[in-house]
Amino acid sequence: MAPSARETLRIGYGLLPIVAGADKFTNLLVDWEKYLARDFERKSPVSGRAFMRFVGVVEMAAGALVLSRWTRLGAWVVAGWLSGITLNLLFSRHYYDVAARDALLALGAVALGQLSREEAVKRAQPAIERQSTVLGQHAQEAVMRH
């Protein structure tokens, strides 16, 4: 059976931040510092390299959260993070293509959060129905006793 759309998004939004976050320490994929808005870098109390390493740790944690049982929370963290990256790129006045891509990726993370919520509701539904049945039985028994 093919994985569901939610599971496909979960794997993608879990693994990609982990890979990109780890690369903040090696720069094998790209020199990440070039994407940091110069105004932000000038005002930052740490170097661009140190800041990008911090970013890498946050990204790896967000990816791990998506892959954990807290997928819904992780999806919203990733969506917020990608939105922040998009704003940084827009303020840099460069890389508008990357900003557009990251904005779209943020919307995909929102979709994962929404799908995860729907799945949580579906999983909870049988338990709610069982509780409702049990409560209904108790209510009937109480009425019959009086």
pLDDT score recorded for residue 133: 60
Q: What DSSP state is assigned to residue 47?
A: -
Alpha helix (H) residue ranges in the chain: 5-23, 38-43, 48-67, 71-92, 96-145
**More confident of the two residues 15 and 88:** 15
**What percent of the chain clears pLDDT 70, i.e. is strictly above it?**
82
| Average pLDDT of the chain to the nearest whole number | 85
| Separation between Cα atoms, residue 41 and residue 96, nearest integer Å | 19
pLDDT bracket for residue 28 (50, 70, 90)? very high
| Separation between Cα atoms, residue 113 and residue 46, nearest integer Å | 33
Q: What is the pLDDT of residues 44-56, one digit of tens each?
A: 898 888 889 999 9
Which residues, including other chains, have CB under 8 Å from residue 52's CB and lie 6 or more apart?
Answer: 24, 32, 33, 36
Q: What is the pLDDT of residues 76-134, one digit of tens each?
A: 999 999 999 899 889 888 889 999 999 999 999 998 998 888 776 666 666 555 565 65
Amino acid identity at 13: Y
Q: How far out from the chain centre does Cα 120 lie? A: 16
**More confident of the two residues 113 and 3:** 113
- pTM greater than 0.85 (yes/no): no
